[in-house]
Structure 1
Amino acid sequence: MTSPTPRPNVAAIPAYVPGKPPTVRPGTTSYKLSSNENPYPPLPGVVAAATRAVEAMNRYPDMGSAALYDALAARLGVPRDDLAVATGSVALIYQLLAAWCEPGDEVVHAWRSFEAYPIAVTTAAATSVPVPVLADGRHDLMAMAAAVTDRTRVVLVCTPNNPTGPAVTQAELDGFLARVPEHVVVVVDEAYLEFVRMADPVDGLATYRRHPNVVLFRTFSKAYGLAGFRVGYAVAQAPVAAALRAVSLPFGVSAVAQAAAVASLAAEAELLERVDALVAERDRVVLGLAAAGWRVPDPQGNFVWLEVGERTGELAAAADELGIVVRPFAGEGARVSIGEPEANDRLLGLAAWFPPGR
């Protein structure tokens, strides 16, 4: 007896490994530092807007996300036609590859980088071309440009890079774009944009205006703290944005998510004060790690990267015993989100007990 068989690429799709929740330990608070979530609760105004939307859950959401498009266009100073919203920026990755890639087409990206990249590429029946990051966790943009062939349709630039942390400079990005053919789509994945504090940061909006092949991916999941609602958006010149909208899931962004995102943009000043506090905590953690003998790649997101190679499982287990859960990448290292001060203190205690040369 035969049974339905999916396309061969489906069996090759890597599994996405999410950050696991912390182990419940009686008498102590456990902290989840495995998913790069914003540890602050939603602002009252955002909760109120979401609650009003919940009260109308018997109705379909606005498929055109009109209020959200209007709010984003006003906030960013871009035409509505240059925007595409989706269920998190990860959905935009799938949509873009569906719109651009034929089976066997190539997608160039750094590695290690965002875990969803090879999953989405394989789902599209395209071919991943991973380019190793440099020793300091930065994108090797020269090598990535050299990896572009006549089969390359898309290049993914994750900045800041998840999970290693460093961000690309504007000068580096400009030099890279000068070497990439104009028919190749270059995604500048800015999920952690709001946490960047560095010289010569990427100006994504100016870059997309100069380059018709550049697409910006952004999200409300990180700095804005809406990870549970799944709202992301792309900024691209109108033909590219239209293609992303064309392959989107109808009614994909829920009414509650749309209302919360619009309210978050209205409360942006307060939200970004929290981002400043997280950046200050990040700086404190980096100094504490350095005092314990650790050298970490320049963190420009809301996380740090601890490269411990084959000891990664041991580090993750030790963290769990302390009531903090980190995101291990077997044989490579662990990504640790910046969380509540107490959680960060436990990380520093672990780093002092588990020095890099142990």
Structure 2
Amino acid sequence: MSAPGALRPRPRPEIEALPRYSKAAGLEQVRWRASSNESTVAPSAAILEAVNLAASHSHLYPSLFGDTLIARLSDRLGVGDDQVLVGAGSLALLQQVLTAYTGPGTEVVYPWRSYEAYPILIGIAGASGVPVALDSQHRHNLSAMAAAVTPQTRAVLVCNPNNPTGSEFSTAEFVSFARSIPGDVLILLDEAYREFATSDVDGVDLLRAFPNIVVFRTFSKAYGLAGLRAGYAITNPAIAADLSSAAPPFGLSAVAEAAACAALTDPAHTDSIVETVTAGRAHLREQLAVRGVESVPSGANFVWIPLGERASALEAACVAQGVSVRMFPGEGVRVTVGERAAEDTVIAAVDALAHNL
């Protein structure tokens, strides 16, 4: 008999090889968290009332597929109920799409650096990821992404605004790109940060011209519901029907659905979050510029500081000052905005490093 612990069940080899989702340093010791792209504004009274009411019925199952939220979203977006799917965050819906449409022997083209969950989800689906480097301006290189499509490609993933760089592409740029993608290849358009964007891209409008698009949006950012996990996808009815077949029942909790529905009816609260973010990123970029520190124009709720090998030094300095940031080794630092004290603490960390940046 084998010694205890000598043998254990093992996952598929591709699962063992997956990269791990990173964690910001110093979370246990900092006062401010500028590392997770959360809203710094708490839910409104109307949202909390809806949450409390839904929680009082927690002994009951939620609707099978988030039917009430689907109806609210379809009405708001001017699309059919049969074009909308909801789930526990847009990430869960992206995983659902990749599982249904890709797999072993297929490829998924994606930008890099971009959201670090992308290669993880692609690997879980069993597909091969094909990363395409951003351009010198930290933007998607859409022409290079289109050129990376092969007969094995089943999906091309784009993120606008991009996480973690905050960079954006225009509608004209996207249309040119989409026209070059074969109709049987999915274009997965992640618009998690759309409400903060400065570009004119609207995935729902684009879907009318390109039926192979799936648009992903979330309630985690501009609606301030990151802790409840609610997101949605919009696509053409045929794709939505396929995805519904692959969807787990009860994928959206009743509390999350109630909060999302309430958030849709409280636009003033969403506007306040967006205004707070817009002011915060302008303030941070202005203060960095005064100090001669480069940052990337952002359409999201964060600012990217491309420091290369100096990124770890800024992260350590920020933690020492009492604020966490998200550092990507050898590349840069992403700073979530919206809390003025946290933004100024990052600036204090920059000052503490003096000429080392």
Q: Residue by residue, what CA displacement relative to the aligned partner does 1:278-337 show, whole Å, maximum 9, x if unpaired?
A: 112211111111111022111110001111222222211110011100011112111110
CA distance in 2, matches of 1:356, 1:176: 41
Alignment of 1:106-185 (within 5 A): 106-185=107-186
Is contact 1:294-1:356 (8 Å) kept? no
> 1:22-46 deviations in whole A, cap 9, x for unaligned?
3436xxxx10000000000000000
CA contact (8 A) 2:317 2:350 kept: no
Deviation of residue 274 (structure 1)? 2.2
Residues 1:235 and 2:234 aligned together: yes
Q: 1:84–1:19: structure 2 CA closer, same or farther, 3 Å change rule?
A: farther
TM-score by length of 1: 0.95
Give 3-state SS (helix, strand or coil) of 1:263's partner.
Answer: helix
Structure 1 residue 109 displacement after superposition: 0.5
Question: Residue 48 of structure 2 aligns with which residue?
Answer: 47
Partner of 2:38: 37
Return the offset for 1:92: 1.3
Q: Does 1:226 align with 2:231?
A: no
Q: Which residue of 2 aligns with 1:211?
A: 210
For 1:8, give the aligned amino acid: P
Contact 1:294 1:355 in 2 (8 A): no
Distance (whole Å) between structure 1 residues aligned to residue 338 and residue 283 of structure 2: 12
Paired with 1:129 and 1:161, the residues of 2 have a C-alpha distance of 17
Question: What per-residue deviation string (whole Å, max 9, x for no partner) do you get for residues 28-86 of structure 1?
Answer: xx100000000000000000000001111111111131210111111111111000111
Partners of 1:293 and 1:355 within 8 A in 2? no
Runs (5+) with no aligned partner, structure 2 = none
**Secondary structure of the corresponding residue to residue 354 of structure 1:** helix
Indicate the residue corresponding to 1:306 in structure 2.
305
One-letter amino acid matched to 2:224: G
Instruction: Pick which of 336-345 and 30-39 moved more.
Output: 336-345
Q: Distance in 1 between matches of 2:347 and 2:170?
A: 29
Kindly state the Cα deviation for residue 250 of structure 1 after the two structures are TM-superposed: 1.7
1:334 paired residue number: 333
Cα distance in 2 for residues equivalent to 1:258 and 1:134: 39
Asked if 1:16 is matched to 2:17, the reply is no
The secondary structure found in structure 2 opposite 1:210 is coil
Contact 1:53–1:256 (CA under 8 A) maintained in structure 2: yes
User: What SS class does the counterpart of residue 314 from structure 1 fall into?
Assistant: helix
Report the equivalent of 1:68: 69
Provide the C-alpha distance between the structure 1 equivalents of 2:23 and 2:209, rounded to a whole number of angstroms.
Answer: 36
**Structure 1, 135-144 or 272-281: larger mean CA deviation:** 272-281
Query: Post-superposition shift, 1:18?
Result: 3.8
Looking at structure 2, the residues matched to 182 and 21 of structure 1 have their Cα atoms a distance apart, in angstroms, of 46
**Is the CA contact (8 Å cut-off) linking 1:21 and 1:32 kept in structure 2?**
no
- 1:110-130 Cα deviation digits (max 9, x unpaired): 000011100001111100000
Q: Would you say the 8 A contact 1:23–1:323 is kept in 2? A: no
CA gap of 1:37–1:204, structure 2 versus 1, over 3 A, is same
Amino acid across the alignment from 2:217:
R
CA distance in 2, matches of 1:211, 1:291: 43
When residues 355 and 63 of structure 1 are mapped into structure 2, their CA distance, relative to the original with a 3 A threshold, is farther
**Count of residue pairs the alignment pairs up:** 352
Look up the equivalent residue of 1:48 and give its one-letter code: E
Distance 1:356 1:78 in 2: 53
Residue matched to 2:259: 260
RMSD of Structure 2 on Structure 1 (CA): 1.5
Contact 1:23 1:320 in 2 (8 A): no
**Partner Cα distance (2:132, 2:10) in 1:** 32
Structure 1 residue 355: Cα displacement: 5.6
What letter matches 2:285 in structure 1?
V
Q: Secondary structure at the match of 2:327?
A: strand
* 1:242 shift after superposition: 1.8
> 2:290: which partner in 1?
291
Please say which of residues 171-180 and 346-355 is displaced more in the overlay. 346-355
Q: Kindly tell me: are residues 12 and 49 of structure 1, through their superposed partners in 2, closer, same or farther at Cα, counting changes over 3 Å?
A: same
Instruction: Provide the rounded CA distance (Å) in 2 between the counterparts of 1:338 and 1:279.
Output: 8
Map Cα deviations across residues 135-162 of structure 1 (whole Å, 9 max, x no partner): 2110000100000000000000000000
Amino acid at match of 1:15: R
Q: Secondary structure at the match of 1:48?
A: helix
